[in-house]
Chain A
Amino acid sequence: MFNQSRQTVIQFIVLSAVIILLVRLFILQVLSPQYKIQAMDNAVARTTIYPDRGIIFDRNDKPVLENTVTHDLMIMPTQLKGVDTLGLCRILGIDTLAFRDRLVSSILKNGRYRPSVFEASLPVEKFVKLQESIYRFEPGFFLQDRPIRSYPYKVAAHLLGYIGEVDSSILKRTNFYYQMGDYAGLTGLERFYEPILMGQRGVKYQLKDNKNRLVGSYENGKFDTAATAGRSLRTYLDVGIQQLAEKFMANKLGAVVAIEPKTGGIIAMASGPTYDPNLLTGSERKRNFSWLLTDTARPLYNRAIKGQYPPGSTVKPSQALIGLDEGVITPASGIGCNGAYYGCNRAIKCTEHWSGHAASLRLAIAWSCNSFFSNTYRLAVDNPKYSNVREGYAAWRHYMNSFGLGVRLGVDLPSEDKGNVSDTSFYNKLYKGSWNSCTNVSLGIGQGEITATPLQMANLMCIIANKGYYYVPHFVKSIDGKSTIDTALNAYKLRHEVTHISDTMYQVVQMGMQDVVEKGTAKPAYVAGINIAGKTGTAENYGIINGKREKLQDHSWFVCFAPREDPKIAIAVVVENAGFGATWAGPIASLLVEKYLRDTLSAERLKEVDRIASKEIILPVVKQKRMRLDSLRRIRLALEMGDSSVLQNAPPPAPERPKLDINVQKDRYGNPVIVPMPEPEPDSQNRKVKDTTLKSAARLPNDERKKS
C-alpha cells in the first residue's frame, strides 16, 4: 500500500541473486573444462588390455619361448569384512602378523579401493587349494591370471633375455608409452624386438561407481580399442644345437656361436655358465635373480657378444689373407722355423719345433706357426708401398675392421661389444711416437692389443667360408604378419662385401684350415666324412690375483666352418682357461658341426659329448670365491628365516639352489666364475659384481713389449 519502490528493491535483490547463480553456472559448466576431466576420472575406469606377447620360434618352428599363465592372489582391502582371514592364512602358510603386514603394504601401495597383489605367482599346490575355496574369501580376495613366459627347452636364456617391470628410465625413453607396473623386454631379443613382440595394447573404458566398483561399459564401448597380439619371431636358431652347446658350456666359462654363413643367421649362441631361463619367471624370480646376479661366474653375462678375448692363433687365417692380398707372401711362401721367431731381437715361441712345419702357407696354417705369422705381419705392416709403419699399420687395421674385428657388428641383441683393434694413435701415445713392426708383432698371432668377441670370430669364419662377404649375424629370419613398415630386419638383408681379396686366396687359406683338422693342430676335431676347415687358438691371458698380475691358464679357442666345399655352419668356441685349443674347444666345435650337419651323433660320439659336458673348467680362484659367497648367502638366508643356530654351529643344510643345469648342478652351486673380467655391462640390470682380484689381462699392454 505504500512504497512501491520497495517492491522494486526486492525484485532487484531476487534478480541479482539469480544472475549471480547464472554467472556461476556459466563459469562452472561452460568455462571450466577441468570438471569434465575430473568427472571422467571419477566415473570412468581406463583398463589397459595387454595382448599376448609374440612367441619366438626356432628354425624348425619349435617354440623356444611360449606364454603361460601364472596366478596371483589379489586383495580388495575395502571388502574384507567377514572374510575368514585365519583360513586364508592357513592355506597361504602365513601368520596373522604377516597377513596384516601385507594388507597394510597393499593399502599403502594402491589404496583401499583398488585391488593389489596379495601373493604373486602362486605355486601350484596353493593355487589348487585356493581355487577350491576362494568363494569363502570373496569378494575381499580373488584370483587373477597373469601371462608369463615359459621356456619349454630351458635354453637360450642369454639371447632371449627376460621381461620385467619397466623402470623410470624405460618410462622416459619411451615417452611414457608404458605405465608403472607394465612389463617389457629388458634384455636380449625380448628387448631388441620389444615393439614387435609386445603387440598393440587395447583400452577398455568402464563405468565405476563411488566405491570403485565397475558397473558397466562406457558409452557401449564406443571408445574401446581392441588389443592386437604381439607378432611372433621366426629365428635361425636350432634348439637341438643350442641345447648341445649349452650342455657343453654349463660348467665352463666361455661361449659358443654358430652361424649359417650364407645368411648370417645365428644357429646357436651359448654363454657359459648358463642358467635355466624359467628361473626368472614365476614366484621365485626375485630370489633367483639376485642369486644369479651376485654369482662370481656371472651367469647373466652373455660372453658370446660381450666377452672380449685375445683371439690368439684364430686370427692367423685372416693374417694369411692380408699377407696374400698385400702381396707380401704367396701361397708358396715359407720360412724355416725351429721353434721360435727371432726377427725382433727376442724369441717369440712356436709350439712346433720340427723343421718344415712352415714350409708353405698351408703348412703354416695347419701347424699354426707363430714365426710365419709374426713374419707375415711384419711384412704387411712394413710393406714398402706404405711410406712408414704408421701407414702400414693403418692399412692392416683397416683389413681387420673390414673382417669385422674391432667394430660392432650390429647383431640383433642389445649391448653388443666391439672388442678391440688399437689404432695408430694408441701406439703413438704409448710409445711416444717411436714404434715399429716389432713393437706389436704379436698382433700377427692374435695377442697383445687385440681382443674379439666369439661372435666376431664366428663372423670371421663366415667371411672366409663365403670367400669375402657376410651378412650381419642375426637371429630373426622373419616376423609373422610382416608388413612393409617393418624396418627391423632390413639391416640384415644387406650383403657386406669385405675386401677385394680374390677367391683363389680364400681357397688357399680354406685348404690350410682343412689341413688344421685333418693333419695339423686340431686332429681331435676331425670328423670322418665332413671336411671341416678350422683353426685352433691358444690365447695367453693375464689376471690380477690378490693384487699380483699373473699369467693364467690359456684360453682354448677353436673356429671353423663346414663343410668346406659348401659351408653350412661356421662356429667359434672359446673356453676360458682351458689350455690348448684342440683340447676342449676343438672337440666341442666338431661335435656341434656333426650334430648340425648329420642331425644325430653316434653312440661313441655321445660318450664324447658326456665326457666334455661333465668336465668342469673353472679357475680354482674363481671356485673359491664362489664357494665363499655361497656359504655367506646360505647363512644370510638362514638368519632371515629366523635360524640363528648357524652362527654357533656347523653350516645349516644348503638351501635349495635354483636349478641351473641338469648334469652338474652341484658343482655349479659351488660357485662359477669368470676370468677375464670384461667391462661392466652398460645394462642397468647387471650391477657390477665387486671382484677386484681379477681383471682383464687383455686390456693390459704386453709386458714384453714394454720392455722392448
Chain B
Amino acid sequence: MNGKNLEISRGIDWVLVWLYGLIAVVGIMSIFAATYHNEDVVSGFLSMKTDYSRQTLFLLIGIVLATFILLTDSKFFTATANLLYFFGIILLLLVFPFHTRVKGTESIIRFGNFQLQPAELCKIFVNLALAKYLSQVDTDFKKLRSQLIAAGLVLLPAILSIMQSETGLALVYFSFFLVMYREGLPSIVLVVGFSLAALVIATLLLDPNLLAILLTAIAIITILLLRRQLKRKKEILVLIISIWAICVGIQRFAVPFFFSKVLKPYQVQRIYATVGRDFPVDPTTMSEEDIRKIEDKKRATSYNVKQSKIAIGSGGFSGKGLLKGTQTRYDFVPEQRTDFIFCTIGEGFGFLGSALLLLLYLGLLFRIIWVAERQRSTFSRCYAYGVASVIFFHVFINMGMTVGLVPVIGIPLPLMSYGGTALLTFTILLFILIRLDADRQMVLR
C-alpha cells in the first residue's frame, strides 16, 4: 500500500481534475451569488447554515471521496460492478416503503439529517454494470439478445425512477444508449429513436387529423417515387405501409394513451409547455382536482421558464457582474440554486460567461471522449462513454430548460447545482474514470 500511495498521482489525467475543480468552484460561486443575503462572507462560509457553505463542505467530502477512489485498485470496480448494480436496485426498491415526502418526489430516503436519492446514485452502478456487461468476452453486441440485455440493464432503474415520480432522472438513463451506440448498437435504433421523438413532438404540435393526412401523404409519395422498385420487391410496400400504420397508430392512439394513462398530468403539461402549447384540459374525463393541479402547474412552469429567460436574457453580452443580478438575487427565479443555477451565470456574466461555461463543459466532454478512446480495455472505454453521456445529457437538458428549449425536467447541472447527492454522484462517476484511466495500460475485464 505504501508504494501505491507514492504512485497515487501517476497516470492521473490532470486536465480532467482541473476541469472538475473549476466547474465545481464556479458552481459554489453561483450558489453564493444566488443565495447571499448581505451576511458576513467568512462566517457565512464557516457557519454551515448557508447553502454555499454546505456546498463547499460537499465538495470537500467529494475530494476526500475522490482520494479514496484514486487509492482503490481498478480491479475493484470491475469485480464489484454487478454487485453494486444489485445493491443499487435494492436501494431503489427500498425507496418504496421508506421514502420521505419531499416536494412532490417519492425518491428520497432520509436518515436523520442526511438525505439519499438512490435514483441519483444508481447512475454510477448502472454505468459500471453496463460497462462490465459490454466488456465481457462472451458478449456479442451484434446479437439482438445482448442488445436487449444491455437495454434491460439500463431501463430497469429508469422504470423504477418513473415509479418514484422522477421522470427527469429516468430520462437520464436513456443517455446510456449513446454508449451502446458506440459499442455497435445499429444506427437504426438511434434514427428510430429520433424519429419517434420527432413524431411525438409533431403529435403535440399539429392537429391529429392534419398529422394523419400528412403521414398518409408522405407514405403515398414514397410509394409513387419507389413504384419501380416496388414492382420488383413487394416487401418494400409492406414495409412502407407498416411504418405508416405504426406512425398513425402512435400518433392517434399510443401518445394519447401514454399521456392520459401513464404520465401524470403535470408531466404532460410540462411537455406541452415546452412546445409552446396549452395542455388540452378535458373536463369530461378529468377530475376537478386534476384540472386545478394542472392549472397550478401550468402557471408555475411557465413562470419558472419566463423568469429564467428574463434573468438570462437581461444579462446581455457581458452580464451585470457578480452579485449584481437583480433577478437572481431577489428570488425571481424559482429553484435557482438547484435546477436553475445557470441563471446566475447568465445574468451575472452575460453571454460571455455563459459561453465560457458551456465551453468548459464541452472541454470536459471532449476530454472524456478522448480519454475513452485511449483505453485498452473495453470496460474502461464503455465506462468513460457512460460518464460522457450522463454529463452531456444533464448539461444539455438543464441548460436547454433554463433557456426554454426543452421541457422543465428537474435534473441538476453537473457539478454546479446545489445538492450533495448530485455533486458526490458526479464526483464519484468522474474519479472512477480517472482511476480507470490511470490504469489504462491494464486490460480490465
* Chain A residues within CB distance 8 Å of chain B: 1-3, 6-7, 9-11, 13-15, 17-18, 20-22, 24-26, 28-30, 32, 34-36, 38-40, 42-44, 207-210, 215
Contact = CB atoms under 8 A, between A and B. Distances in A.
Nearest to A34: B313
Nearest to B378: A1
B378 A14 contact: no
B354 A14 contact: no
Nearest to A6: B182
B311 A25 contact: no
Interface in B172-210: 178, 181-182, 184
Contacts of A2: 184
A323 B316 CA distance: 82
Interface in B146-169: none
Contact of A11 (B358, B366, B403): B366
Contact of B181 (A10, A28, A38): A10
A29 B351 contact: yes
Contacts of B366: 11, 14
Which of A25, A34, A207 has the most chain B CB within a 10 Å cutoff?
A25
B346 interface: yes
Contact of A42 (B312, B315, B326, B392): B326
Which of A14, A29, A36, A208 has the most chain B CB within a 10 Å cutoff?
A29
Contacts of A215: 330
A7 B396 contact: no
Given A18-B362, A28-B312, A34-B313, 13 more contacts: A7-B369, A17-B392, A21-B396, A21-B399, A25-B346, A25-B355, A29-B313, A29-B350, A29-B354, A39-B347, A207-B326, A207-B330, A215-B330
A14 B358 contact: no
A21 B362 CA distance: 11
Contacts of A20: 400, 405
Given A28-B312, A36-B314, A42 B405 contact: no
Contacts of A17: 392, 396
A20 B313 CA distance: 16
A24 B313 CA distance: 10
Contact of B316 (A6, A21, A24, A36): A36
A222 to B, nearest CB: 13
A21 B311 contact: no
Given A29-B346, A42-B327, A14 B362 contact: yes
A64 to B, nearest CB: 47
Could you tell me the dominant secondary structure of chain B's interface residues? helix
Contacts of B316: 29-30, 36
Contacts of B361: 18
A38 B365 CA distance: 35
A42 B403 contact: no
B86 interface: no
27 contacts: A7-B182, A10-B385, A11-B369, A14-B362, A14-B365, A15-B362, A20-B400, A25-B346, A25-B358, A28-B312, A28-B313, A29-B315, A30-B316, A30-B351, A35-B312, A35-B314, A36-B313, A36-B314, A39-B310, A39-B313, A39-B314, A39-B326, A42-B307, A43-B330, A43-B332, A207-B326, A207-B330
B235 interface: no
Interface string B368-390: 01001100001001000100100
Interface of B: 178, 181-182, 184, 307, 309-317, 326-327, 330-332, 346-347, 350-351, 354-355, 358-359, 361-362, 365-366, 369, 372-373, 378, 381, 385, 388, 392, 396, 399-400, 403, 405
Contacts of B403: 21, 24-25, 28
Contacts of B309: 28, 35
A39 B310 CA distance: 6
Given A26-B351, A42-B327, A209-B331, A21 B184 contact: no
B132 to A, nearest CB: 16
A10 B183 CA distance: 12
A652 B228 CA distance: 103
A42 B332 contact: yes
A18 B331 contact: no
A200 B168 CA distance: 56
B42 to A, nearest CB: 22
B440 to A, nearest CB: 14
B326 A6 contact: no
Contacts of B351: 25-26, 29-30
Contacts of A210: 330-332
A39 B311 contact: yes
Contacts of A6: 181-182
A43 B358 contact: no
Which of A6, A28, A36, A42 has the most chain B CB within a 10 Å cutoff?
A28
A29 B317 contact: yes
A44 B362 contact: no
A307 B182 CA distance: 98
A690 to B, nearest CB: 51
Nearest to B405: A24
A71 to B, nearest CB: 31
Contacts of B388: 10, 14
B96 to A, nearest CB: 34
B340 to A, nearest CB: 13
A18 B405 contact: no
A140 B310 CA distance: 30
A42 B358 contact: no
Contacts of A44: 326
A473 B369 CA distance: 92
B182 A25 contact: no
Nearest to B307: A42
A9 B186 CA distance: 13
Contacts of A34: 313
A447 B313 CA distance: 76
Contacts of A36: 313-314, 316
A22 B347 CA distance: 15
A32 B385 contact: no
Nearest to B381: A1
Given A43-B330, A209-B330, A210-B332, A25 B312 contact: yes
A20 B396 CA distance: 9
Contacts of A40: 314
A44 B314 CA distance: 13
A215 B326 CA distance: 11
A3 B354 CA distance: 34
Contact of B392 (A9, A14, A22): A14
B152 to A, nearest CB: 22
Nearest to B403: A24
A18 B56 CA distance: 28
A22 B359 CA distance: 10
Going nearest first, the 9 A-B pairs with the smallest beta carbon separation are A35-B313, A39-B314, A43-B326, A209-B330, A29-B351, A28-B313, A210-B331, A17-B396, A38-B310
A44 B324 CA distance: 13
Contacts of A15: 362
A10 B178 contact: yes
B358 A21 contact: yes
Nearest to A9: B181
Which of A32, A34, A35 has the most chain B CB within a 10 Å cutoff?
A35
Contacts of A18: 358-359, 361-362
A373 to B, nearest CB: 80
Contacts of B347: 39
A26 B315 CA distance: 11
A15 B392 CA distance: 10
Contacts of A207: 326, 330
A620 B386 CA distance: 103
A42 B310 contact: yes
A43 to B, nearest CB: 4
Contacts of B314: 35-36, 38-40
B133 to A, nearest CB: 16
Nearest to B393: A17
B312 A21 contact: no
Contacts of A21: 358, 396, 399-400, 403, 405
Contacts of B181: 6, 9-10
